[in-house]
């Protein structure tokens, strides 16, 4: 097959084990945020890639294992957005002291992850995971044309981030 008429497939990987449980709060403005609470976040991957002459696109295991490993790094932590313009985060011994508006929140360092995101929303979490997957499994190396990572915080509520090969 030539480059222009090669066959592509769209894979959706949404295994039950591609999940993590985490505490967070979403920040809405300089003065408004949610209360600290938790979710069982579900993650899915969508990949567009070529189908080989053998009728296969690639070993799914590679992508599922990477998603599982990333979920495990987030599981059972309190997630804080280290790039939020509304939070001032400092470590004081074994605690993070987080200043927001007129309050200071304290979190144990051992139970908290500071993520390079602006908010702990499904939009930002999906982008964070997309970046991690692309770093670990470079799309060009695997012939991937398009990657979408979705993160759901409950039934009917999710955010997605995508990468597409440049033409």
In the prediction, which pLDDT does 1 show?
42
3-state helix vs strand vs coil in the chain, percent to 5: 25, 45, 35
What would the mean pLDDT of 65-82 be, rounded to a whole number? 97
What would the mean pLDDT of 150-158 be, rounded to a whole number? 93
In the prediction, which pLDDT does 41 show?
98
Q: How far apart are CA 145 and CA 118, in angstroms?
A: 27
Paired residues of 88 in beta bridges: 99
Output the six-digit token pair for 7: 């066959």
Q: How far apart are CA 3 and CA 7, in angstroms?
A: 9
pLDDT at 52 over 90: no
DSSP secondary structure string for all residues of 54-85: TS----HHHHHHHHHHHHHHHTTEEEEETT-T
pLDDT at 92 over 70: yes
CATH code that applies to domain 3-76+119-164:
3.30.479.10
């Amino acid at each position: 097959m030539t480059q222009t008429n090669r066959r592509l497939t769209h894979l959706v990987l949404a295994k039950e084990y591609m999940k993590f449980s985490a505490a967070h709060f979403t920040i809405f403005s300089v003065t408004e945020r949610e209360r600290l609470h938790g979710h069982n976040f579900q993650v899915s991957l969508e990949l567009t890639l070529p189908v080989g002459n053998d009728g296969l696109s690639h070993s799914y295991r590679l992508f599922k294992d990477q998603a599982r490993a990333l979920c495990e790094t987030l599981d059972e932590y309190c997630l804080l957005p280290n790039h939020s313009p509304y939070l001032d985060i400092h470590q004081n011994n074994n605690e993070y002291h987080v200043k927001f508006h007129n309050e200071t929140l304290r979190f144990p360092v051992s139970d908290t992850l500071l993520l390079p995101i602006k908010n702990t929303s499904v939009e930002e979490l999906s982008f964070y995971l997309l970046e991690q997957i692309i770093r670990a499994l470079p799309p060009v190396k695997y012939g991937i044309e398009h990657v979408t990572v979705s993160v759901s915080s409950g039934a009917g509520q999710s955010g997605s981030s995508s990468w597409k090969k440049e033409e």
